[in-house]
Structure 1
Amino acid sequence: MSPRPGTAEPLLGPDDEARLRDAVTDAVLSAPRGLREAIEQDPEASLALVSASRVAAEETSRLLSEAVANARAAGHSWDAIGRLIGVSRQAAQQRFGPAGPPATTGPERRVGGDGPERRVLTPLTLFDEMVVLEPEARRGWHMVDFGPLYLVVEASDHAWQHRRAVWSPAAARALAEQGWQLVGGWSFPWGYYKRRLDLPAEP
């Protein structure tokens, strides 16, 4: 699926769009157990359908916001994103534009407050954030928060490892069994993970 610069054509073809819409509809009708069977006979099932549809709408809205953040981190313009969702560049930026990284002070962008020292690594993209994070992790900085174009890291006495993987509950469970800790939930489509090493932080 390659972008089509300068056009308003969607990246999904009609068949893909139809499959996706069918999958969402099926999920809504399947999530409350027995809803599909009860909808014709039980008046309460109609309210359950409203509730399930609300949850689906909230979740798809969240996924869209995080997908836009991911596209921005991959270097795509607001104009390209706006064309895909059918709004102007300005409307896309107003709706989905990030609040920005946490407030910082000083030339090394140190985050104030009590507890271990924290720093904001920015600007970063989807393609360089893990490369930038790797040497910081060897020096004892581990990831504690993230957002569009930035990561927040915290100082420690140990070296760390980090990884990013396409999110799925199965992948999260498998990584947890290997000692990986999910950082701050997940951000569609990614899960960020860290693991402390039995090595002192490098100077």
Structure 2
Amino acid sequence: MSDGPLLHPAEMDRIREGIAAAVLGAPEGLADSLEHDPHGYLRLLDASRVGAEEAGRLLREAVQGARAAGHSWDAVGRVLGVSRQAAQQRFAGKAVVGSGQSAPPAEGPDAPKRRTLSGLSAFNEMAALEEAGRDGWHMVGYGPFFHEVEASGHPWEHCRVTLPSVARHRRMQSEGWIPVGAGWFPWRYYKRPVSPGA
């Protein structure tokens, strides 16, 4: 792996421009208000804060994704421009708020059984979920290196897509796909029961 940036300058510029456009464009009328409304600058500050928090969340999840893909803390640190130790201290063991953490288990003697599929990576998780789904297990939560599944009386299918647009998310739901959690950057997970004879 090289010690230089993995992205070209034009790619970095597109990311920066995209973030700036999202911060300015998401709040209704924000960009126009900056010409005449001092309050618009407080809205800009708030939108920038939300953008920074989201960027921080994406970075934490991207680090966990790189680790799940088998990259060392040394490799992660090189990409971030810090030492292995600094990367590990900053990101190891940090829970990602709002990710696909497990749903609370149901209680009681009739509660569905749960189990954890562990030791997973971005490269083997879908095969593990496919096998579990054939056996009647469906995903109810996930995190770095694991998926939690719950037993049911019928087979399930699972899929993951890279951050779907609102239109694609709605289309998938209209096709019977059920979103699981809030996503784990860059993925959004879905499940649906398999109809008999499919």
- Correspondence 1:142 to 2:142: no
Distance change in 2, residues 1:130/1:83 (3 Å): same
Whether the 8 Å contact between 1:98 and 1:148 is mirrored in structure 2 is no
Matched residue SS, 1:184 = strand
Alignment partner for residue 86 of structure 1, among 72, 81, 90?
81
For residues 1-203 of structure 1, the aligned pairs below 5 Å read 5=1, 7-98=2-93, 114=107, 115-168=111-164, 169-199=166-196
Q: Which amino acid aligns with 2:16?
A: R
Identity among equivalent positions (%) equals: 51
Partner Cα separation in structure 2 for residue 90 and residue 82 of structure 1: 8
- Give CA deviations for 1:127-179 in whole Å, capped at 9, x if unaligned: 11111221211111111001111110111111111111112123222211111
Displacement after TM superposition at 1:8 (Å)? 2.7
Matched residue SS, 1:183 = strand
Partner Cα separation in structure 1 for residue 195 and residue 41 of structure 2: 55
Partner Cα separation in structure 2 for residue 32 and residue 135 of structure 1: 43
Displacement after TM superposition at 1:23 (Å)? 1.7
Partner Cα separation in structure 1 for residue 94 and residue 40 of structure 2: 40
Matched residue SS, 1:8 = coil
Residues matched between the structures, number: 185
Displacement after TM superposition at 1:32 (Å)? 1.9
User: What's the TM-score, normalizing by structure 2?
Assistant: 0.86
- Give CA deviations for 1:84-135 in whole Å, capped at 9, x if unaligned: 11221122122222368xxxxxxxxxxx872211111110111111112212
User: What's the TM-score, normalizing by structure 1?
Assistant: 0.84
Partner Cα separation in structure 1 for residue 41 and residue 67 of structure 2: 39
TM superposition outliers: structure 1 runs of 4+ over 6 Å: none
Partner Cα separation in structure 2 for residue 10 and residue 162 of structure 1: 35
Which consecutive unaligned segments of at least 5 residues does structure 1 have? 101-111
Please report the RMSD computed on the Cα atoms of aligned residues, expressed in angstroms: 2.1
Which consecutive unaligned segments of at least 5 residues does structure 2 have? 96-104
